[in-house]
Every structure is written in C-alpha cells, then in structure tokens.
Amino acid sequence: MLTKTTLTNAGTWINIQTEDKTELKRFYQRFEIDEEIVDYSLDENERAHLDYDQKTNTFVLIFNVTNPKKIDNHYETIPLTFILKDSTLLTVTNSVNHYVLDIMNKQVNSEDSASIFQFLFGSLFMIIDSFFPYIEEMDRERKSINSKLKEKTTKQNLLLLSDLETGIIYFVSASKQNVLLLEQIRVHQIFRMLTESEKERLDDVLIEARQLVEMTQLSSQILQQLSGTYNNVLNNNLNDTMKILTVLSILLTVPTIITGFFGMNMPLPLENNIFGWLITIGISLVLWLLLSVILNRLMK
C-alpha cells in the first residue's frame, strides 16, 4: 500500500507498506535507489545505521522503533527505514511498525517541519518519545513483581522478572544504536549541508535519545540488582535448608550407632539387665543432647 503526503514546504513524504521484496525492488527502481537497500528495508534484525550515496544524493537511515506487541511476554524493537532523496522522504513500513505513520502525521503540519530534514528530525524526536511509555510500563511491572516476590519467592514471579530483563535489554541496545546513528550524522558530510535550525533540531533529537539511553540503562541496572538480590535469597535459603538437613543427619547417626552396637549377636553389657533398653535409650539421649550443643555452637 502506497501513501503520498505533500508537506507544507512543497516536499513530499511517501510511505510504502509492504513485506514483498519484489514489490519494494520495483518501487526503488522508480526512484533510482540502490537495490541493496531492499535487504536493509525488509530485514527485521537490521541494526540502526546510515548510508549516503553521493552520486544519487540518497540518504538512507535505519532507525530502531518499538514493537507495540509483546513477543514471548516481553517487548522488542524493530528497524524502520527512512530514505531521503532530494526533496522526497520515503519510509518503508510493515504490519508491525506501521503505527509510526500516526506519529509522523502529527509532524506534517507542525511549525517545526519547515524543511524535509526538520520533518525527519521532528519525526525521530517523537519516535524516541514513544519509547518512554513502554519503559514506564516495565517499571510499574517491576514494582508489582517486586512486591509479590517480597511476599513469596515463586518460580512464576522470577520468570516474569526474567521477561522484564529481556525486554529492557532490547530497549537498551536499540536506544544505544539510535544514539550512535545520530552521532554519525553529526560527523557525516551531510551535516554540513544542514541549516542552523536543522542542526539545532538534530541536537534536540540527540539529547532526547541520550536521555532514553540513561533511562533504559537505569531500569536495566535496577532489574539486574533485583534479580541478583533474589538469586542470593534463594541461595541463602538453599544453604539454610542443606545446613538443617546435614545437622539432622548427623544427629540421627547417634541412636543408629548405639542401637546397632547393642543389636549385635554377641555377649554385650546390659544384655541380662531388664532395664538395659532404657539405659541404652538414655545413653543415646545424652550423647544426642551433647552433640546438639556442640553443633549449635559451631553453627553460631
């Protein structure tokens, strides 16, 4: 599906929503775009980066956006392709990241979109802002899971915590890649072609992207610390359990040894004494209590 929007500065924004490689290839041929970009545009695992073809004056930007649908109970990110050629901005979306069009449509009539680059940078700014609600949602889930774990450390809650860690790792990686991409634009030759207002807009996007990195890293560190804390709690509980079982097994050896000694088929003391079994039990209790005191002091 192809949509075409005329911007206020007489520039054009064209979006093609497709997952068909052949269709996208024909579309690129119309605009004299390198066919190599077809693979970039349809690769869900493509990292954020930029390319610039000076001969055709084509600026290609692969930017990470959020995937609004959870996969295996955690959020992930997906790349989105921006192609700037002359006064035309091309975007390639699919069924997953098509929601970005709603974000970009808010920039069409914005005063901050006086040029095609300002429209692009303004759209990137809002895309970065769209990350924050997901991070806030994950923070709320973290607090909820933490409260449940304080009451009872269950396997289900620990798995939920692990899912949160997985999701935040995707966000940390994606946000870092986006920052590197924006920093590459600042040192790229195309940066010298930008106006002062466009450079300022790019700086605003870079500041926002760096704030996103800091926020995702903070959430990731908190989750790692929380996960490490509960792992230590589980290990301590296991150590306490093993300690108790070890003590019990040692204490149970006392009556076993004594009763086994008097159970041998040979002449023994107290075998003709009618109170011999009581004396045997008494000896076992005394030794058991003595060993209990010794073990108690050693454990302390």
Q: Which of 194, 214, 235 is the last residue of a domain?
A: 235
Supply the range of the domain harboring residue 263: 244-299
The reply to whether 175 and 295 lie within a common domain is no
More confident position, 24 or 95: 95
The reply to whether 106 and 21 lie within a common domain is yes
> What pLDDT sits at residue 70?
87
Q: Alpha helices of the chain — where are they, by DSSP H?
A: 21-30, 36-42, 100-108, 116-129, 131-151, 155-187, 196-262, 276-299
The reply to whether 85 and 27 lie within a common domain is yes
**Structure tokens, 156:** 């289900």
More confident position, 69 or 7: 69
Residues 236-253: what's their mean pLDDT? 76
**Structure tokens, 226:** 């929380």
Q: What is the DSSP letter of 74?
A: B
Distance CA 199, CA 191 (A): 8
Residue 113 confidence class, pLDDT cut points 50, 70, 90: low
The reply to whether 77 and 19 lie within a common domain is yes
Share of the chain above pLDDT 90, in %: 19
Query: Is the confidence at residue 51, as pLDDT, over 90?
Result: no
Find, among 1, 13, 22, the residue nearest to 94 by Cα: 1
> What pLDDT sits at residue 276?
67
Q: Is the Cβ–Cβ distance between 75 and 67 less than 8 Å? A: yes
Residues 167-175: what's their mean pLDDT? 92
> What pLDDT sits at residue 266?
61
Query: Is the confidence at residue 111, as pLDDT, over 70?
Result: no
Distance CA 207, CA 110 (A): 20
Backbone angles phi, psi at 272, to 5 degrees: -100, 5
Residue 118 confidence class, pLDDT cut points 50, 70, 90: confident
Query: Is the confidence at residue 253, as pLDDT, over 70?
Result: yes
Question: Considering its fold, how many domains does the chain have in total?
Answer: 2
> What pLDDT sits at residue 126?
92
Residues 211-228: what's their mean pLDDT? 89
**Structure tokens, 93:** 């979306």
Q: Which of 235, 252, 274 is the last residue of a domain?
A: 235
The reply to whether 62 and 203 lie within a common domain is yes
